[in-house]
Amino acid sequence: MIVVLLISTIIGAGTFIFLNTERFGKHPSGERLLRIEKSPNYKNESFQNLNETPMLTEGVGYGKVLYEFLFSSKPKEPTKALPSIKTDLNALKSEENVLIWMGHSTYFLQIDGKKILVDPVLSGNASPFSFTTKAYKGTDIYTTDDIPEIDFLFISHDHWDHMDYKTLKQLNPKINKVITGLGNGAHLEHWGFNPEKIYEGDWYDTFSFEEGFQAYVTPARHFSGRGFTRAKTLWASFVLKTPNATIYIGGDSGYDAHFKEIGEKYGPFDLAILENGQYDKKWKYIHMLPGEPFMAATDLNAKAVLPVHSGKFTLANHDWDEPFTNITEGKNEKNIRILTPMIGENINLKDSLQQFKPWWKSIKE
């Protein structure tokens, strides 16, 4: 009994120490917490979705999910390095309007003279452990050294595959402004960000900037948390209005009525960037299932869609290339334009006729 107690104590102490390392960030406190507590979206000491949102589908237990993950799930991963084209971000001309997808939910925009970065994860993995959730071979062609000075950094929520501690620590000197949901500034300040850089908003808050740029914090149907505690920070999508374009930055979200409301309030959209991957019927409320990105794009009144949240990490039980096949071969009744660039490939936002090859089909088993 003494040995068991000693081992348990050591494991417990080790876990406590690990969960309090800098990478996990900080929960909101002080004036930040007081502001959060006034939010209509914060109840019973946690943020809430607009509609009831179970983490798992009815009838599904965490035991089943864990068992499948450990023993029976066999999603196919790429058997060789994914193809890419590395666009030099520092060599872009100021008048170019471009988008560069960097895998999963990380992408760079240069539009109307401003440089924008979204949910950067450039450290090689999406987990508190460097040996898990590793990036596919060939997908980490960009490092923080390749990123120019950023006017606006958007952080949709604090999950590891969207808010990467190592990447953000290294990018800090290059970031001028951060736009994110309530509470996430606590992590960023803990990691050395100047609080004057951080713009935290509740759903439907507006931030207006120089030269005609506006950012709106909008709802998503998801959750947050970097450890065992959930929903202390707000998950969000965003609307970016520039002098010549309106773009929807989707973050992570299950399908729900908020897409229609956002479309009616801020649309139409020149481009909607929507999650398309890491789905499963067992967690259908917090990630969109195949076909639902088309429904969301229709609700948003979007002319074009960039599908993201795939192509770099395995976080669900589907094959790595399934999301690309579904979005390009699925029922697209509104003939919405689907953009499927390789990682690093230049999307010319001024060219509505630009075509992209089905590059995922070149990866053979």
User: In this structure, what is the dihedral angle of CA atoms 51, 53, 57, 60, given to the nearest 10 degrees?
Assistant: -140
Question: What pLDDT is recorded for position 63?
Answer: 86
DSSP 225-257: -SSS--SSS---EEEEE-SS-EEEE--S----T
User: How many other C-beta atoms are found inside a 10 Å radius of the C-beta of residue 40?
Assistant: 8
Q: Which domains does the chain have, with CATH numbers?
A: 26-350 (3.60.15.10)
pLDDT in tens, the chain (365 residues): 676 566 666 555 555 566 678 999 999 999 999 999 999 999 999 999 999 999 999 989 888 888 787 777 789 999 999 999 999 999 999 999 999 999 999 999 999 999 999 999 999 999 999 889 999 999 999 999 999 999 999 999 999 999 999 999 999 999 999 999 999 999 999 999 999 999 999 999 999 999 999 999 999 999 999 988 999 999 999 999 999 999 999 999 999 999 999 999 999 999 999 999 999 999 999 999 999 999 999 999 999 999 999 999 999 999 999 999 999 999 898 999 999 999 999 999 999 999 999 999 998 65
Q: Give the Å distances, CA to CA, from 94 to 89, 154, 263, 279, 333.
A: 11, 21, 30, 37, 36
pLDDT of 6 reads 60
Q: Give the pLDDT confidence score for residue 140 in this predicted structure.
A: 96
- Give the model's pLDDT for residue 228: 87
The predicted pLDDT at position 37 comes to 98
- Give Cβ neighbours of residue 289 (< 8 Å, ≥ 6 apart): 255, 279, 281
Q: How far apart are CA 198 and CA 117, in angstroms?
A: 14
Tokens coding 356: 């992209």
Q: Of the candidates 356, 322, 342, which has an alpha carbon nearest to the alpha carbon of residue 107?
A: 342
Question: Residue with structure tokens 């948003």?
Answer: 300
Residue 102 · residue 108 · CB < 8 Å: yes
Neighbours of 81 (CB within 10 A): 12
> E strands of the chain, at which residues?
42-43, 46-47, 98-101, 107-111, 114-118, 152-155, 178-181, 198-201, 206-208, 214-218, 237-241, 246-249, 271-275, 304-308, 337-338, 346-348
- Strand 46-47 and strand 42-43: the pairing is antiparallel
SS3 356: coil
Q: Judging by beta carbons within 10 Å of its beta carbon (0-12, 13-18, 19+), is residue 361 exposed, middle or buried?
A: exposed
Strand order in the sheet with 214-218: 206-208, 214-218, 237-241, 246-249, 271-275, 304-308, 337-338
The DSSP line for 192-204 is T--GGGEEEE-TT
The number of beta carbons lying within 10 Å of the beta carbon of residue 204 is: 15
Element (H, E) at 350: none
Residues 6+ apart with CB under 8 A from 246: 239, 240, 266, 267, 268, 269, 270
